[in-house]
Amino acid sequence: MALLDGKTAVVTGAASGFGRSISRTFARNGADVIVADIRTDPREGGRPTHELIREETDQHAYHVDCDVTSADDLAVAVEAADELGGIDIMVNNAGLFRTEEFLEVTEAEYDQMMDVNVKGVFFGAQAAAREMVERGDGTIINMSSAAGYSGASGFPTYCTSKGAVRLLTYALADRFGPEGIRVNSINPGFAETQMMAESGLGNGIRGRIQDQVLRRMTPQRRYAETQEIANVALFLASDLSSFVNGESILVDGGLTNTG
Ligand SMILES: NC(=O)c1ccc[n+]([C@@H]2O[C@H](COP(=O)([O-])OP(=O)(O)OC[C@H]3O[C@@H](n4cnc5c(N)ncnc54)[C@H](O)[C@@H]3O)[C@@H](O)[C@H]2O)c1
């Protein structure tokens, strides 16, 4: 029996990067998946996630147009799971990253990032929890970051948003633990998804120097593979983590707790 047999997951931002890897990993482990994203084609190229899952596994997979800044869109994505037996696992993964100088951040830039990274997680968790409470079962996984633990001058809005996601996770674990719902976050270090590739980190001459610095800052001297994030999501989604609640798991090669 596979770890997620009979389960249905909704994964936001699942067209690309971590969300794509998490969705494929869940499907390989027996889950049906709703791919909730504003786009269908992966940012890194390749076949849409839901098509790939259907090709690779016997599981059901559907794409739902979902902008996580809209609570209505999130509710529609969660409802889409009803046709597959109802939502068991919610992964609030969609997010934006930007390097910036604090003194120059505009209100519009701040709002845009907080809307996706925080509001999107807040109302994604709310939509999922409303369904899960009725069933008395479920697990919610929020994508925070190592930047939700330690501050960095180069991306203050991002740190603000990811710290909020970590604390929201704890608040929801407290709220829903008695109802049989576990809520945890994943806090990755650097990974080479399109988000990182297009961020200015790791690109160009300045980027190449930063790239060496980032790797040196990480005791394992490399970036994360998306599969390494997906493996932790699989653990948190499954009964292997049945007494893990209100936890934020660093998956950063030792970056945060050393140096
Ligand atoms: N890549 C890293 O180094 C890293 C490190 C720590 C945390 N994270 C977090 O992991 C998550 C995924 O990052 P990634 O690296 O896979 O990024 P990515 O850019 O590769 O993929 C993000 C996906 O989210 C989708 N998305 C963006 N805005 C959306 C919206 N408003 N509604 C719905 N979907 C939307 C995009 O279309 C894309 O498919 C993010 O929350 C990010 O902050 C990434």
For the chain, list the domains and their CATH numbers: 8-190+225-258 (3.40.50.720)
Read off the pLDDT of residues 135-144 as tens digits, 9 standing for 90 and up.
999 999 999 9
Ligand 1 site, CB within 6 A = 12-13, 15-19, 37-39, 43, 66-69, 93-97, 116, 143, 145, 188, 190-191, 193-196
Compute, in angstroms, the gap from residue 13 CA to the centroid of ligand 1: 6
Mean pLDDT of 128-141: 98
Mean pLDDT to the nearest integer, 116-128: 99
Nearest Cα residue to atom 2 of ligand 1? 191
Q: What is the mean pLDDT of residues 213-241?
A: 95
pLDDT given at position 84:
98
Which pLDDT does position 215 carry in this prediction?
A: 83
Q: Has this prediction a pTM greater than 0.85?
A: yes
pLDDT above 90: percentage of residues in the chain: 90
| One-letter-per-residue 3-state SS of the chain | CCCCCCCEEEEECCCCHHHHHHHHHHHHCCCEEEEEECCCCCCCCCCCHHHHHHHHCCCCEEEEECCCCCHHHHHHHHHHHHHHCCCCEEEECCCCCCCCCHHHCCHHHHHHHHHHHHHHHHHHHHHHHHHHHHHCCEEEEEECCHHHCCCCCCCHHHHHHHHHHHHHHHHHHHHHHHHCEEEEEEEECCECCHHHHCCCCCCHHHHHHHHHHHHHHCCCCCCECHHHHHHHHHHHHCHHHCCCCCCEEEECCCCCCCC
